[in-house]
Amino acid sequence: MSDTGDLVFFLSWAFSTRYGANHEMSVAALVLRSEFKIDLLPLLTFADRNVEDPADEEALERAWQDAAPLAECCERVYEALGSDEKRLVSLGDDYPALRDLIRELGQIAAWAAGRGARIRVTYELEDAA
């Protein structure tokens, strides 16, 4: 995968929607759920790959999931992001790599699903320095 910043940003804001976040990506997540009827849970099951304590290790272990639902979720989100839904269109301008990254993640998940494998989505934050 190439630079995944747009994807990590989307996942973080979409996850934070449940806590009342009102960022444009949180709104997009709500639109994907309500208007497109997409279950985002497979996409929002992720963890930091850098383990610093037992809680991090547990979160990383809980991030394993069946690959097929993630592949389907990514495909549906990819299609929705290509629609003319006005609350999603601007994401393409502001986060140009997002749609392709969702598609790429879905392809990876589909590959894993075809082999009966499980998958986990992880991220790694880089130091700004």
- Render pLDDT for 39-77 as a digit per residue (tens, 0 to 9): 999 999 999 999 999 999 999 999 999 999 999 999 999
Q: Mean pLDDT over residues 112-129, rounded?
A: 85
- Identify residue 13 by its one-letter amino acid code: W
Angle at 73 between CA 68 and CA 76, to 5 degrees: 125
Predicted confidence at residue 123, as pLDDT, reads 87
pTM for the whole thing? 0.88
Cβ neighbours for 117, distance < 8 A, ≥ 6 positions apart: 67
As a whole-number percent, the residues of the chain with pLDDT over 70 amount to 95
Range of the domain at 37: 5-123
Answer yes or no: is 128 within a domain.
Answer: no
Answer yes or no: is 34 within a domain.
Answer: yes
Answer yes or no: is 32 within a domain.
Answer: yes
Answer yes or no: is 28 within a domain.
Answer: yes
Report helix, strand or coil for 74.
Answer: helix
The total domain count for the chain is 1
Answer yes or no: is 129 within a domain.
Answer: no
Closest CA to 35 of 104, 88, 108, 110: 88
The two tokens of residue 92 are: 């393409």
